[in-house]
Structure 1
């Protein structure tokens, strides 16, 4: 048996030697090198850019997470006084050098979860709001897509959490061209979305049916005509232009805009027999054009502390209050509800003269300012404020003289508004901001007439009592940018 095992082992060893010898005679084929394209840092457009492998396009992926908690003075038991907000932001910035300049594509997507005062006027509810905040292409001087309005001075550094009355970086669709003259000077002309700037202003007291369609006289027997402007279809974009300078000391900009106001009119109310009810409905007006102008300047103040600055923005608008900071939900003051704040919670582009039926443009002027001081590189404070004056067109309000509501002032109410606030923001590490802000708002109504509580109709009357409304609000913010 041992002899058999020895023969088998010997035979195997012999085969291995022969096979090894034959293999040694064969040519050796080396493995082909694996192509590795490492991600390269792109420094041409600032930090955090990298080259997309295999291209000359530089890409930056960033975003933000914001948690915010807010308190606002309530005016009755039905209103929320606190609110919670969580907001997530993702942005992608892609840039490619070309013979004609930089080709850029940018997307910013935001998702917001609001409750309480953030979801005004739907008290006790919560809402999600996914939003393509920005999406635009830039090629040389051309900009096309959804971007911050060119009426805004985008180089002004805003640190406030609340609302001040100036054009504070609204995003909207636009088509623009920027001319760069060198030496820090530039000029831009743009066609921007009219609907994004439209303030229709429909005081609820003048809405009859639940559908929101205007009907006959809200106050039966008083024959008070409608004063709300009902917008027709959009036929012309807003025209916006600016001249700008950016230097080592700061920046300055002069902006102007033209805004179309197109009236639909109101159909008359019909009786069951099809007859027109007297003093209801009106013909439409021809299109009018509002306008706005705004100078702004920011001055760096390094002699106080590194990073300190001051800015001021003034705006005058006729028929275009959106450009003065009265935009969308920012029309209202704090959490003032319709039954407390009346029609001034919606500052309309125009009103209808109740006696002539003509379109009357709303006049607004405002001034806003901010000073920011750095106590340390990681700790800064800002004080800020704004003043605004709003005057509605003639015939937009009247005082009832007969009946159970005699003495009530019905319609749009001229007013002045002042906002003053301050905040402190701590940034213990790069990209993290922890801030607390307090703001006070006061509204003074012109020629106020004491009124009564009319329940659902109270939206159409001026508030009773004193001639002012006061609101306190505070916010706590935790924000991480990356």
Structure 2
């Protein structure tokens, strides 16, 4: 009996030992956790196994804007409204290297509109290398020429200031005390210029606690010719050939000055902006294109006018822009901006003659509610008037009035 009891006890101990081993926790493999990159600001994290820090962001924008509410005795049938639902994806990287800090930006979006159509587009995409010498940027980014590009939340009517992304190679140098200077070569085709040609841009500016001031200048490569198109964008045909205009000169130019005054003494975030621009055969730098509905009739024979045609016929002019923003509370702000543009053209070549002045003013205002960080809920209204005054004929004018609303969240 004693031997039997001893054998049973031994077996029990063995079973108990096996059960205890099975219950032991499994040792986890080491994990390479994502690290936060504080040096580059909020939102950056280190890509595992790389020296690169990545920031992923996005934006959802929903918006509706009316078509023209004015009656211009025009037979054109306008849609009732334009609406979009758009999603943005932002990818930003920062890498500290032997040649300097390498920054990359890729921004893209897709959208649906009120007609059931969809589109995808890459917006800005560039590489920037920053070191003690300068900042060098290669890719598509806002033109170095651009200063003020709008203050209202939507901008339902066009105002006459440059706001153009371009392919470019630019160099910017900090001179100390908030002073910077830069030069850039930019693709002319983005401004309806000559194909496979470049515009040269230079800029100098200062930014300090009181605000900022900058001046910029650009030369513009004019296209060899411009096709004459009707108000619907169709080429005008003479015989069997498209009717084209030959350029008056090869190069245009533009200059601008922009001043921003911070008005934090009224309310934090308040500001006033004034900008003046002059352009000769470089109409894109004024955003002077006239291609909205009835405005196409402002040229003889119902010809549609775009920046390329204005450059070819040697149009010259200026624009003045002003804007004011006021925060009633940190969450509610009203903004108004407006522009005045005056152009003149005198061209007579190849059976096409223009001797006329064109004046346009536009004003846009918005009220925005920003209940939480990244959220915008805004209402916007705008009005514009364009007057075309040809020599020896009656002047013609065109009014635009639009309203819009936007709900947007950026994260």
Same fold (TM over 0.5): yes
> Where in structure 2 are there 5+ consecutive unaligned residues?
228-237
State the TM-score, normalized to the length of structure 2: 0.82
Alignment match, 1:67: 62
Matches within 5 A, 1:229-244: 234-244=195-205
Distance 1:372 1:22 in 2: 76
Return the offset for 1:446.
Answer: 1.1
2:308 alignment partner, SS class: coil
User: 2:246 & 2:350 partners in 1: Cα distance?
Assistant: 19
Deviation at 1:128, TM superposition (A): 2.6
The separation in 2 between residues aligned to 1:415 and 1:135, in whole angstroms, is: 36
Residue 126 (structure 2) pairs with residue 136 (structure 1): yes
Deviation at 1:40, TM superposition (A): 2.7
Work out which of the residue numbers 340, 346, 367 in structure 1 matches 2:306: 346
> How far apart in 1 are the matches of 2:11 and 2:271?
88
CA displacement at 1:234 relative to structure 2:
2.1
In the alignment, the residues of structure 2 paired with residue 416 and residue 54 of structure 1 have an alpha-carbon distance, to the nearest angstrom, of 59
Q: Is structure 2 residue 307 aligned with structure 1 residue 364?
A: no
Cα deviation for residue 259 of structure 1 reads 1.0
Offset at residue 398 of structure 1 (A): 9.0
Deviating more after overlay: 436-445 vs 76-85: 76-85
Alignment of 1:375 onto 2:365: no
Q: Which residue in 1 is equivalent to 2:294?
A: 336
- Of structures 1 and 2, the larger Rg is shown by 1
Q: Which residue number in structure 2 is paired with residue 319 of structure 1?
A: 281
Question: Could you tell me how far apart the structure 1 residues matched to 2:381 and 2:350 are?
Answer: 34
Aligned ranges 1:109-148 → 2 under 5 Å: 109-115=108-114, 125=115, 127-140=117-130, 141-148=135-142
Deviation at 1:324, TM superposition (A): 1.0
Partners of 2:143 and 2:165 within 8 A in 1 = yes
**Aligned counterparts of 1:365 and 1:295: Cα–Cα separation in 2:** 12
After superposition, residues 26-41 of structure 1 pair within 5 angstroms as 34-41=29-36
The equivalences for 1:148-227 within 5 A come to 148-153=142-147, 158-162=151-155, 163-168=158-163, 170-198=164-192
Structure 1 residues 305 and 76, CA, compared in 2 at 3 Å: closer, same or farther?
same
Shift of 1:321: 0.6
Q: Distance in 1 between matches of 2:203 and 2:143?
A: 11
Deviation at 1:366, TM superposition (A): 0.6
Instruction: Give 2:265's aligned residue.
Output: 303
Structure 1 residue 292 displacement after superposition: 0.7
Q: Name the CA distance, whole Å, in 1 between partners of 2:52 and 2:173.
A: 24
In the TM superposition, what is the alpha-carbon distance from 1:62 to its structure 2 partner? 0.8
Give the distance between the partners of 1:97 and 1:15, measured in 2 at CA: 65
CA–CA separation in structure 2 for the residues paired with 1:307 and 1:480:
20
TM-score (norm 1): 0.71
Q: Given the alignment of the two structures, is residue 14 of structure 1 paired with residue 10 of structure 2, yes or no?
A: yes
Instruction: Tell whether 2:406 aligns with 1:477.
Output: yes
Residue 440 of structure 1 pairs with residue 383 of structure 2: yes
* Cα distance per residue 1:127-160 (max 9 Å; x no partner): 4331110110011211011111111137x77234
Q: Is residue 45 from structure 1 mapped to residue 40 from structure 2 by the alignment? A: yes
The residue that corresponds to 2:233 in the other structure is none
- Counterpart pick for 1:57 among 25, 29, 52: 52
Cα RMSD (Å): 3.7
Question: What is the total number of aligned residue pairs between the two structures?
Answer: 386
- CA-CA distance at 1:303 after TM superposition: 1.2
- Contact 2:192–2:223 (CA under 8 A) maintained in structure 1: no
Deviation at 1:345, TM superposition (A): 4.3
The answer to whether the 8 A contact 1:250-1:300 is kept is yes
Question: C-alpha displacement at 1:173, in angstroms?
Answer: 0.9
Residue from 206, 220, 224 that aligns with 1:245? 206
Equivalent residue for 1:426?
Answer: 369
The answer to which structure has the higher strand fraction is 2
Q: What are structure 1's unaligned runs of at least 5 residues? A: 116-124, 200-232, 267-275, 352-358, 400-409, 451-464
Provide Cα deviations, 1:353-386, integer angstroms capped at 9, x if missing partner. xxxxxx6411131111110000000000011110
Secondary structure of 1:294 counterpart: strand
Secondary structure, counterpart of 2:190 in structure 1 = helix
3-state secondary structure, aligned to 1:348: helix
Q: In the alignment, is the contact (CA less than 8 A) between 1:298 and 1:310 conserved in 2?
A: yes
1:385 corresponds in structure 2 to 338
Are the aligned partners of 1:319 and 1:363 in contact in 2 as well (CA < 8 Å)?
Answer: yes
